[in-house]
Amino acid sequence: MIALDRKRAYAIKRETVDLILEVSKESFPNEFAGILRCEKGVITEIMLLPGTISGSRSALLRLHMLPIDYTVAGTVHSHPGESDHPSRGDLQLFGKFGYVHIITKVPYGRNCWKAWDLDGNPYHLEVLGEESTSS
């Protein structure tokens, strides 16, 4: 397997975290799902894939819609509950695609997210950038 889809990230931009949390909140009670893009080890943005299906119990990414993009580092999705731990389905996806995966949880505040590696282990991401004034 080519290592390009296993791009490691050591940090994420504050504005990217804020965007992820806002989109998660706006999608509630449905799950939101997207792709994480990384530049020089820093997650800088999320990519939304056409055809993504979101429901109250899951979100389905149509990975075949993903363009060839060597900046992809992993996935992000929201849980419409109080758990930011990966489900069995999440772990299956993690093992097949990307290296870092972010899960958000209710109420989608600043501390309502966690990063995981491809094996489902907690993964530390440093948050870079100034504090946002949005809540």
User: Which residues are the active-site residues?
Assistant: 31
CA angle, residues 109, 53, 5, in degrees to nearest 5? 80
Q: Residue 23, CB half-sphere, CA atoms under 13 Å: how many? A: 19
CA distance 46 to 33: 9
Query: How deeply is 82 buried, as exposed, middle or buried, from its count of CB atoms within 10 A (0-12, 13-18, 19+)?
Result: exposed
Compute φ and ψ for 120, nearest 5 degrees.
85, 20
- 93's tokens: 């996806």
Asked if 100 contacts 74 with a C-beta cutoff of 8 angstroms, the reply is yes
